[in-house]
Amino acid sequence: MKIVKYAASLLIVGLLVGCGGAKPAPKKTAPAVSKTAQFKIGKTTKSDVIAVLGQPNSVSTADDGTEILSFYSVKRTGKAWIPFYYGNDRVRTSNDILKFKNGILSHISHGEGHY
């Protein structure tokens, strides 16, 4: 009977020690490269952009005739499904706004958010 109690105690201690020594997975440190990095201001056409990024989420025209294409995406990470997790990495957003004068790229802006 003493052997069973001793073995059970060792098993419990072993489980607790084993859980405490777990190391977190290494973080990925490679920077994300935006698809817009390949576009050249003054050279890239609107059709080139649409071929790479697909159809824009919205299209608008400014008073000066500049055409503005907006591309955005929203992705949920695995942490979004953890109940009562209120950290800042549940949702990731990406926004690309490209401006065109006479069908040629004149301005690029890119933004990302983590919520």
The model's pTM: 0.62
Give me the mean pLDDT over the 70-94 stretch: 76
d(CA 51, CA 53): 6
Residue of higher predicted confidence among 45 and 114: 45
| 41 against 4, higher pLDDT | 41
Q: What tens digit of pLDDT does each residue of 6-50 get? A: 766 766 766 665 555 545 555 554 455 667 888 999 999 999 999
Domain ranges in the chain? 33-114
Class of the 33-114 domain?
alpha beta
